[in-house]
Structure 1
Amino acid sequence: MLRAYVALTKPRIIELLLVTTVPAMLLAQRGIPSPWLVLATMVGGTMAAGSANALNCVADADIDAVMKRTKRRPLARHEVPTRNALVFGLALGAASFGWLWLTTNLLAALLSVGAILFYVLVYTMLLKRRTAQNIVWGGAAGCMPVVIGWAAVKGTIGWPALVMFGVIFFWTPPHFWALAMRFRDDYERAGVPMLPVIATPQQVSRQIVVYSWVMVAWTLLLAPATSWLYAGLAVLAGAWFLAMAHRLHAAVRRGEHGNPMRLFHLSNSYLTAVFVALAVDSVIGWPVIGLPF
């Protein structure tokens, strides 16, 4: 039973969110913040993300039950009563707000609540079943951990936090559309208009390439707040990702299926590499321009 409640929070997704939170805090501090502050933010962020994911499972139980990729989720298998899952998700959200307010600051706590509400109300309940742009705009909720991490350190929202938000915002469509290409039939069966359901493979792969170029260019906007170390690694990682995105598009144009799951898994590694580079640079790098933030 405990395992089922943990599964409601989608731990693997939370791991990726936390990978971006710590580097944001390191950049805000331009060094290593208080270990207690980092731990407190991670705990609060985990509860907030778990809340959003659990509530998403409640709202999407009917979809999860008919999709092969999600049919093993707790509500789809009736391992947890819907009412219990709803209470669990709401309780986690309330706990995350209280915890972050007590251990960090009110701004970080409010941002966590905003992220939960946006993910559940805007993405899950409004956009997901109505528009192929669902993941583009709805993905903004997944960008919030970097802003929360920055706010936990600074008590404000600086421009580097908004740039990091943008990196994840433009990363989300290539990441998720690659997955949706592989599970197109699942989404069509569930009646979810993901882009691969309503567009041709060529159109989807072209959009992946466009967003990938914007994403890589956006990572370089952090150069004034970092050093050559981050900039160099961001360029190398970006070139790697762009090569794979173009390879997928070329395969699709030839009438082949390509390997969208390779790009999906690569996108996780790419985002991790960019933010690890940011973390290392924040601790040992030297500012290029030294703009205040």
Structure 2
Amino acid sequence: MTLLDRSSAAPGTDAATDVPEAAPRSSSFGAYVRAYVALSKPRVIELLLITTIPVMFVAAQGVPPLGTALATLVFGTMSAASANAINCYIDRDIDRAMRRTRRRPTAMQQVTPRGTMIYGLVMAALSTIGFVVFVNWLAAALSLFAIAFYIFVYTLLLKRRTAQNVVWGGIAGCMPVLIGWAAITERLDWAPFILFLVVFFWTPPHTWALAVRYREDYAAANVPMLPVVASDRRVMLECVLYSWATVAVSLLLWPVADTTLLYPAAAAVLGAVLLAQAHRLYHQVRCGVTGAKLKTMGFFHLSNAYLALLFVAVTVDPLLANALG
């Protein structure tokens, strides 16, 4: 399971040639553990689990089997750790160039590049084997696809080349929805694909709001994020459009999954709040508010809360349906 990390540098730069192998600055066991945990990007993994757990409740039409759910979360976490660690290996040159990421273990040489890659590959192997043995083949295949897509398509192909990097690269961050569903049902249906699209359309405006705040960092690292290469008006317009798409798609789950009225009510209210904030930022840009005066981090945090609360509603809805009989 993966979610987009946000950083990069010029195409053709070989990160492996610009930093010599260096031992971690502290040899204590605790320092090693903390460094490898940081490589896994636990805050990104938290967001992945927010989408995985609710989907399993919908798939099970109630509380999912505990063993399967726990195995999915454990091996999903390992899968995400794998992709994130290999991303740190590839992008350590960029991480050193950006203030937001320069304290990552690879950028600070707390972990060697070789150690980072080995850790990522071991996590990929263990997560795949774990899914096969304790969950099912479909979940394993989707997990492996997510790792490969994040590394080869997003990190190596898109991130350093196009302003659409987080749009199509965001597919990797949507995969936990499909993995969670497949873990319970051993198949894919329309409902998980709708939630897949919710995360897909949610990702660009969420990421661009952060990128506006760190625009100079991305520019210094030659990362062509949309806020770096386009005007604030263009960025905010696209945030509005993607937010509308997110809300519209979220409402489709009501008829497809035959939810109670709780879910569409929650989706509508949360969507209205998200859209109001997106339109407020766009209105500010149209009135001449740009650059540092454009406060996009409020939208960034709001979009996090939106997704978390929407998936809480996804979790509660089948429990309510069962309680109502």
Cα distance in structure 2, aligned partners of 1:74 and 1:146: 29
1:21 maps to 2:52: yes
Alignment of 1:123-142 (within 5 A): 123-142=154-173
Residue 242 of structure 1, aligned match among 275, 278, 282: 275
* Structure 1: runs of 5 or more not aligned: 287-293
- Residues 160 and 222 of structure 1 are in contact (CA less than 8 Å); yes or no, is this contact kept in structure 2? yes
Alignment of 1:171-250 (within 5 A): 171-224=202-255, 225=257, 226-250=259-283
1:252 maps to 2:285: yes
| Partner SS state of residue 75, structure 1 | coil
Provide the TM-score with structure 2 as the length reference: 0.87
Residue 285 (structure 1) shift: 2.7
Cα distance in structure 2, aligned partners of 1:44 and 1:111: 12
Residue 2 (structure 1) shift: 0.9
1:290 is aligned to: none
- Residues 21 and 148 of structure 1 are in contact (CA less than 8 Å); yes or no, is this contact kept in structure 2? yes
Aligned length: 286
2:62 is aligned to: 31
Larger radius of gyration: 2
1:267 is aligned to: 303
| Partner SS state of residue 294, structure 2 | coil
- Residues 58 and 75 of structure 1 are in contact (CA less than 8 Å); yes or no, is this contact kept in structure 2? yes
1:148 maps to 2:179: yes
2:19 is aligned to: none
Residue 76 of structure 2, aligned match among 45, 50, 59: 45
Cα distance in structure 1, aligned partners of 2:267 and 2:143: 28
Residue 180 (structure 1) shift: 0.4
Structure number having the greater helix percentage: 1
* Structure 2: runs of 5 or more not aligned: 1-31
Residue 259 (structure 1) shift: 1.2
Q: CA-to-partner distance for each residue in 1:238-263, whole Å, 9 max, x for gaps?
A: 00000011111111222223211110
Cα distance in structure 2, aligned partners of 1:63 and 1:279: 38
Residue 278 (structure 1) shift: 0.6
Q: CA-to-partner distance for each residue in 1:192-224, whole Å, 9 max, x for gaps?
A: 000001000010000000000000000001002
1:11 is aligned to: 42
1:291 is aligned to: none
Residue 133 of structure 2, aligned match among 93, 96, 102: 102
Cα distance in structure 2, aligned partners of 1:165 and 1:6: 27
2:28 is aligned to: none
Cα distance in structure 2, aligned partners of 1:69 and 1:285: 44
Residue 281 (structure 1) shift: 0.2
Cα distance in structure 2, aligned partners of 1:76 and 1:253: 39
Mean Cα deviation higher: 246-255 or 160-169: 246-255
Cα distance in structure 1, aligned partners of 2:301 and 2:288: 22
